[in-house]
């Protein structure tokens, strides 16, 4: 009888864990081959400008200091996305494809016609129909379906930069399935964005623990959780804790993915940035250089990510007064962005501004002036081309 009392709870826990792993695999791997975005970066940029304007109006009207602070964070994100609408659109596409995949798994709750309509709207950048269907599931589904619906509602709210709603739904998903690392990571990362560090740490630690227990300690998802938690610690200035986690994530990725994988480059860049922030330039430099070399080989020497790595290394040299070494990196990054993204892209404006600042440090103000003027012209044209709706 005693053995029976011990075995039954263990069997129940095993079943729950198996279901959790199935849900994670099924819902987190969206089949993007069936989902095709039908909105351009320029169209998406117009929508972002509208959101920016709406957020500004909400800030002006909001009286509650905490809610106003959340809106300010939303505004910061909106403005960053406006600077790089291609990246913002890619992030939306990933979330929208995941939402479609989840709806496909729940289609018996509302029918194929509703699914097709929601998919078409999502592909056009409109998540409202998907929101409505997830709300139906949230109200009538079983606990596992409700948890997934809450998570997807949070993800779509985050994609439209509505952090109050996103936080509410992520919390609901975690309350319904506290053993799902996907939900915990989403809640933890958003809590970090909102500056709720204690809550973020709780969620991210729990997600890491669950992944370490349900997966191999060297699984790539474990590395992702380590990076999330390390990023939180780095933001708080807890550099020792962050370093240990970044190093462990790097070791996992090197072993599992190979030393020349772009994810390894990202881990190297994370660790280099940690050292850079602390003024440990000698430790940061070889990591930045290795990340650059990996991306050049894996992505090609003219990929925008390579330009980002070049900028990081140039910034490191500039801070040390190594201007002659920084300049060719700035020039190359600028050339890559101009070729890959076009001469009027916001990233080009940022690169021009950084290069101009370097030239001023070198006492070459006359050369810096036209670069600054061009950067300002790009910003002005961007504002003119993307007025609020």
Domain that holds residue 170: 1-177
**Using one digit for the tens of pLDDT, what is the confidence trace for 5-19?**
555 444 444 444 444
194 in Cβ contact with 167 (< 8 Å) = yes
Residue 55 pLDDT grade (very low, low, confident, very high; cuts 50, 70, 90): very high
What is the pLDDT, as a whole number, of residue 192? 96
Of 154, 147, 241, 138, residue with least CA distance to 189 = 154
Which of 4, 20, 1, 9 lies closest to 213 in space, CA to CA? 20
Phi, psi of 216 (to 5 degrees): -70, 145
CA–CA separation, 173 vs 171, rounded Å?
5
Q: Are 44 and 85 in contact (CB under 8 A)?
A: yes
Query: Within a domain: residue 188?
Result: no
Is 81 part of a structural domain of the chain?
yes
CA distances from 122 to 29, 46, 153, 374 (A): 17, 17, 13, 37
Cα gap 140→306, rounded to integer Å: 48
Q: Which two tokens stand for residue 213?
A: 């227990």
Confidence class for position 85, pLDDT limits 50, 70, 90: confident
Q: Mind listing the pLDDT tens digit for each residue in 310-354? A: 999 999 999 999 999 999 999 999 999 999 989 988 889 999 999
Percentage, residues of the chain above pLDDT 90: 79
Rounded Cα gap, residues 86 and 337, in angstroms:
13
Q: Give the count of domains, the chain.
A: 1
Is 156 part of a structural domain of the chain?
yes
Judge whether residue 240 has pLDDT over 50. Answer: yes
Please write the tens of the pLDDT for every residue from 246-264: 999 999 999 999 999 999 9
Q: What is the pTM of this model?
A: 0.84
Tokens of 269: 């860049």
- In angstroms, the CA 268 to CA 282 distance is 14
Segment (H or E) for 376 = helix 365-385
- The pLDDT value given to residue 109: 81
Whether 278 is covered by a domain: the verdict is no
Domain contains 229 = no
Q: Does any domain span residue 82?
A: yes
3-state secondary structure of 68: helix
Query: What is the DSSP code string of 211-226?
Result: HHHHS-TT-HHHHHHH
Burial group, residue 230, by CB count within 10 angstroms (0-12, 13-18, 19+)? buried
Tokens 């960053």, residue located: 80
Q: Is 163 within the bounds of a domain?
A: yes
Please give the structure tokens belonging to residue 256. Answer: 């599992």
């Amino acid at each position: 009888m005693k053995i029976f009392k011990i075995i039954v709870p263990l069997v129940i826990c095993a079943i729950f864990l198996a279901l959790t792993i199935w849900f994670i695999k099924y819902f987190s791997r969206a089949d993007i081959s069936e989902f095709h975005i039908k909105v351009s970066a320029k169209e998406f940029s117009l929508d972002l400008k509208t959101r920016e304007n709406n957020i500004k109006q909400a800030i002006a009207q909001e009286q509650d200091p905490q809610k106003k602070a959340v809106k300010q964070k939303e505004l910061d994100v909106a403005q960053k996305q406006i600077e790089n609408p291609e990246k913002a659109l890619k992030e939306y596409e990933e979330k929208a494809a995941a939402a479609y995949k989840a709806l496909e798994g729940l289609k018996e709750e509302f029918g194929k016609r509703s699914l097709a309509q929601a998919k078409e709207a999502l592909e056009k950048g409109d998540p409202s129909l998907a929101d409505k269907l997830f709300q139906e599931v949230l109200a009538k589904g079983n606990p596992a379906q409700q948890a997934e619906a809450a998570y997807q509602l949070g993800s779509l709210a985050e994609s439209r930069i509505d952090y109050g709603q996103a936080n509410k739904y992520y919390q609901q998903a975690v309350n319904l399935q506290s053993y799902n690392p996907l939900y915990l990571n989403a809640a933890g990362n958003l809590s970090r964005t909102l500056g709720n560090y204690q809550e973020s740490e709780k969620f991210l630690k729990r997600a890491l623990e669950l992944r370490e227990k349900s997966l191999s300690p060297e699984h790539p998802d474990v590395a992702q959780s380590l990076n999330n938690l390390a990023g939180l610690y780095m933001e708080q200035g807890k550099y020792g804790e962050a370093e240990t986690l970044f190093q462990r994530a790097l070791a996992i990725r090197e072993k599992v993915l190979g030393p020349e994988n772009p994810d390894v480059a990202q881990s190297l860049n994370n660790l280099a940035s940690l050292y850079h922030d602390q003024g440990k330039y000698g430790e940061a430099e070889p990591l930045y250089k290795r990340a650059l070399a990996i991306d050049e080989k894996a992505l090609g020497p003219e990929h925008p990510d390579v330009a980002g790595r070049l900028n990081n290394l140039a910034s490191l040299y500039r801070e040390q007064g190594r201007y002659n070494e920084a300049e060719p990196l700035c020039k190359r990054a600028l050339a890559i962005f101009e070729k890959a993204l076009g001469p009027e892209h916001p990233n080009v404006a940022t690169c021009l501004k950084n290069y101009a600042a370097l030239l001023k440090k070198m006492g070459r103000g006359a050369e810096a002036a036209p670069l600054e003027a061009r950067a300002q012209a790009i910003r002005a044209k961007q504002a003119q081309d993307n007025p609020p709706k």
